[in-house]
Chain A
């Protein structure tokens, strides 16, 4: 018999609505709410041995809470974790997706359920998610689909679009029968034979970003300097990576008019940093920015710059840095930013 642990929110656990959204993670040794119906649907050979629930605000506010939820899930020794269905509920979807991603990272099989429009879907990071209805009224058919997915996973099978799988399907490294060069020759012959669709790699779909409208009056605007050139204090105190960066950093420009050679260093691994290190303004034009500030051409210069290393960065991390930079600058009422790229 397989052991299933079900994750739901405070509302479906019957604890309460918005007034109870701060409920901390709690575990019950039985199916609760939609878990009762799910339990019937998956049949007597599997058992929902525990339900872990958490308030929506609490679960979506802090990644540490997800670790706490995962601990409670682990304590019930699951063969499979089920999260949701979360429908289009944003915070609930986010929590389900993060629980699914955390379980996957911990090596615990998991399946979540939510509507394809749920903003939390991207956070699942490739963990299996199946489609649910938009609203709780569609609980019945949503649980039917989820139960079918649960049975498939417990049978050791992977979920596909036929099971209602949504979200990103991870691409995994595999060992092929032949080396890549031999496969390339095979692919050439296939292509010459008239098959125009054969490929091992699907064409990627990239976001199209619409640039913001130009800032109209810079003389009253606060302007920020941001860069992916990996320019950091000379001792690289926060250990910014030279490639495949996982973080970005903020350093103060307060009281500085120039960046002296020797005090600053680019740790970027993708280009020769010799000339940049001779004159760090080649990467971060603080000298010119101060001059413009003095002339009144810009209202103010943001007192810190934001930096990461743009070298082999995964798109996921790059997107996260962008979102966090925008939020950070907005919070500081910065109206325009100069991004120096290398």
Chain B
């Protein structure tokens, strides 16, 4: 059956295979040229004294340090056409019609902000494959705050500017024929699935105050209650990250736009299951609030007729409790639950893998061990800063670090291929060898 274009979202995919700078921002047959002048204008703000833009591409001897957020260039029409509603577009519900996507490119903000933890992207070498941004052409935005500007204003200016820049880049492709079209129907209502099981995604957003916050339609989601959201809205940038802790366990805006669990459920929709939709929930800091939002999310999913849910988190430690509480609450409500967790088993892998584990819903997927040690070879060029804060070493040095520092390496949304297994039982290749192949 031909999909009704009014129902759901179509991605018009333009593949970026080459990047450059030039007098005008344009996209032509896979080649994305950026005008530094026009791009810098997207970031004009009283809180920013200066911004510097440069490309970092796969295979280069380059490292990005102090990574803050990453955004995939997208637009729905000239000026954005409603993309990133609440930041670039007006506050209107998105997720329908068509959206241009510059696949293979990202806008990456990098530099110092308070509370931000050191985060690295390697553009080559053994750790490049550990981050989604080791394989994208990254337009890196470095910045100098204006004298006396409050850090909160710098953070706000940067977020809005990076989203505007991502829109500006995608706008250049509006006239180009897409390389591919991907159509995703909206989730069907309960009872429409011919007996197939209804499976949804519950996505916790780390909402713990300024510099550790996530925005939905331009507003902080701190203090909110769980809500159902159409997966197409994620595609159109309804969820934007302002969360700079736990680099390997972070969900940048890019990952919400390309939510891996949503992608996996879309891929099986209408065959093994019916994709029932997405429930987003805050991750509060107070235990009582964690219990409240967990019970609330479970009730929502049950009311929406879900048979099962896949739960994801953002951040370490206390964020495990948010997943565990929701998993148990869902099971109690008759909804089968599976949670994604990174393990924190210590460098030797012998510690308890999870900080707070579910008691009744015990199906868990591992995204790898946070404490796994890596050695990253020296590089020719570093962006984002001169030094690596964590080690107080020049950013171009050979670095010995835990995988916890590699941006999105243990992606709680399920992007990566890492897992953990008991030493003796495993027959697959150890990670340190496998990633360097």
Contact = CB atoms under 8 A, between A and B. Distances in A.
B353 to A, nearest CB: 6
A203 B265 contact: no
A247 to B, nearest CB: 14
B365 A184 contact: yes
Nearest to A124: B350
A171 B365 contact: no
Given A171-B369, A173-B431, A192 B336 contact: yes
Nearest to A180: B414
In the complex, which range does the number of interface residues on chain A fall in? Answer: 35 or more
Given A158-B424, A205-B352, A314-B344, A183 B429 contact: no
A243 B117 contact: yes
B417 interface: yes
Contacts of B215: none
A205 to B, nearest CB: 7
Given A169-B424, A204-B353, A184 B261 contact: yes
Contacts of A316: 346, 348, 350-351
B264 A160 contact: no
B210 interface: yes
A311 B317 contact: yes
B272 interface: yes
Contacts of A182: 264, 267, 414
Contacts of A189: 197, 272-273
A120 to B, nearest CB: 15
A41 to B, nearest CB: 22
Contacts of A334: none
Nearest to A165: B424
A331 interface: no
B81 interface: no
Nearest to A207: B352
Interface stretch (A20-28, A75-83, A193-201): A193-201
B345 interface: yes
Contacts of B107: none
Contacts of B279: none
A202 to B, nearest CB: 8
A32 to B, nearest CB: 30
A169 to B, nearest CB: 5
Contacts of B17: none
A204 B372 contact: no
A180 B210 CA distance: 29
B264 A312 contact: no
A171 B422 contact: yes
B369 A191 contact: no
A181 B336 contact: no
Interface string B299-316: 000000001101000001
Contacts of A315: 344, 346, 351-352
Contact of A175 (B197, B404, B429): B429
B416 A180 contact: yes
B368 interface: yes
A257 B85 CA distance: 53
B423 interface: yes
A172 B430 contact: yes
B322 to A, nearest CB: 15
B357 interface: yes
Interface string B83-115: 000000000000000000000000000000011
Contacts of B210: 272
Contact of B348 (A126, A176, A199): A126
A260 interface: no
A157 B366 CA distance: 25
A269 interface: yes
Contacts of B73: none
Given A173-B420, A312-B370, A184 B414 contact: yes
B365 A200 contact: yes
A184 B336 contact: no
Give the one of A126, A171, A187, A198 with max B CB within 10 A. A171
Interface in A199-243: 199-206, 242-243
Given A173-B419, A174-B420, A312-B344, 20 more contacts: A101-B348, A170-B350, A171-B353, A171-B422, A172-B422, A172-B431, A173-B403, A175-B428, A176-B417, A176-B419, A178-B417, A183-B365, A185-B261, A188-B308, A189-B273, A201-B365, A203-B362, A270-B245, A272-B212, A314-B351
Complex A-B, nearest 6 residue pairs according to Cβ-Cβ distance, in ascending order? A181-B414, A204-B352, A170-B349, A314-B346, A168-B350, A181-B260
9 contacts: A158-B424, A171-B423, A173-B368, A174-B418, A176-B419, A179-B264, A180-B414, A181-B414, A269-B245
Interface of A: 101, 104, 125-126, 158-160, 165, 168-185, 187-192, 196-206, 242-244, 269-272, 311-312, 314-317
